[in-house]
Amino acid sequence: MTQPPATERELRVAIVEDDPRYRVSLETLLAHAEGFRLAGSFGSPLALLGEADRAATGASGLGWDLVLMDLQLPGMSGIEATRRLKRLRPELPVVVLTVFEEPNTILEAICAGADGYLLKKSSAPEMLEHLRAVAKGGAPLTARVARTVLGLLRSEAGGTPASACRDAGPVPELDLTARERDVLRCLVSGMSYKQAAAELAISTETVRAHIKSIYRKLQVHNVAEAVSRAIRERLT
């Protein structure tokens, strides 16, 4: 029997967090939040990678829709764990949840394949909203993180750290619509999906649809790469 998409059923989330008290708080949140299910909880990235590796080589599915990853972990950093997990399961979204706000750390995590970057100071509703957005194909950053990334990108003359993530190569024809440029301009300004929707008087679902199209046309995979390309090529 075919599984329905994650957006039509409970979102199964696996946690990687070495602080037992904070891990329990995340477990409690996911166990009681509507539309979510705790699918795994790990105190180290090695345990998670071991299970992902067994699932990749076995007949059974992994049973996760998304991984919530701390950065400061025993045995291996969350950035390296994200990189290795993406090699095993490139389709599996990984959202970083950390206290670190340093620009280089944020960009390093994004370059490793993180689909979102959240701060532990985020409220529970904000965290859940961002996880839902990732499950629907978005790559959200909290407003604070987006501003940090934007500041770093704009401070780099003649290139950006995000350009080291991947060589996007020349885009033969961008063909961005006027509305897509409006949405891209909102991303460059550091707005969240909700803020962009309010600014443009459209729904958040419409914003997500435009962002997916923008990613495809710009040949990028996340907000940081889209903003980097927009700034470098003066697309807005």
Looking at per-residue pLDDT, the higher value among 236 and 113 belongs to 113
What is the distance between the alpha carbons of residues 223 and 60, in angstroms, rounded to a whole number? Answer: 33
pLDDT of residue 35: 94
pLDDT in tens, 81-123: 999 998 888 888 999 999 988 877 887 887 788 888 888 988 9
| Same domain assignment for residues 130 and 167 | no
224 within 8 A of 107, measured Cβ to Cβ: yes
| Same domain assignment for residues 136 and 44 | yes
pLDDT of residue 157: 39
| Same domain assignment for residues 105 and 212 | no
What is the distance between the alpha carbons of residues 165 and 111, in angstroms, rounded to a whole number? Answer: 5
| Greatest mean pLDDT range, 13-17, 83-87, 167-171, 228-232 | 13-17
Does the predicted TM-score (pTM) go above 0.75? Answer: no
| Same domain assignment for residues 85 and 202 | no
Q: Which residue, of 140, 172, 195, is where some domain finishes? A: 140
Q: How far is CA 103 from CA 13, 38, 72, in A?
A: 26, 30, 16
Per-residue confidence band for 128, with pLDDT thresholds at 50, 70 and 90: very high
> Average of pLDDT values for 133-160?
65
pLDDT in tens, 6-56: 545 789 999 999 999 999 999 999 999 999 999 999 999 999 999 888 876
DSSP per residue, 135-185: HTT---B-HHHHHHHHHHHHH-TT--GGGGT------S-----HHHHHHHH
Q: How far is CA 7 from CA 83, 94, 96, 167, in A?
A: 25, 16, 20, 31
Q: Which residue, of 140, 173, 206, is where some domain finishes? A: 140
| Same domain assignment for residues 135 and 165 | no
| Greatest mean pLDDT range, 41-55, 125-139, 222-236 | 41-55
pLDDT of residue 139: 65
Mean pLDDT of the chain: 81
Q: Is residue 153 domain-resident?
A: no
Looking at per-residue pLDDT, the higher value among 25 and 145 belongs to 25
Looking at per-residue pLDDT, the higher value among 196 and 67 belongs to 67
Q: Is residue 204 domain-resident?
A: yes
183 within 8 A of 214, measured Cβ to Cβ: yes
In which domain, by residue range, is 124 found?
A: 6-140
CA proximity to 149, closest of 132, 167, 165: 165
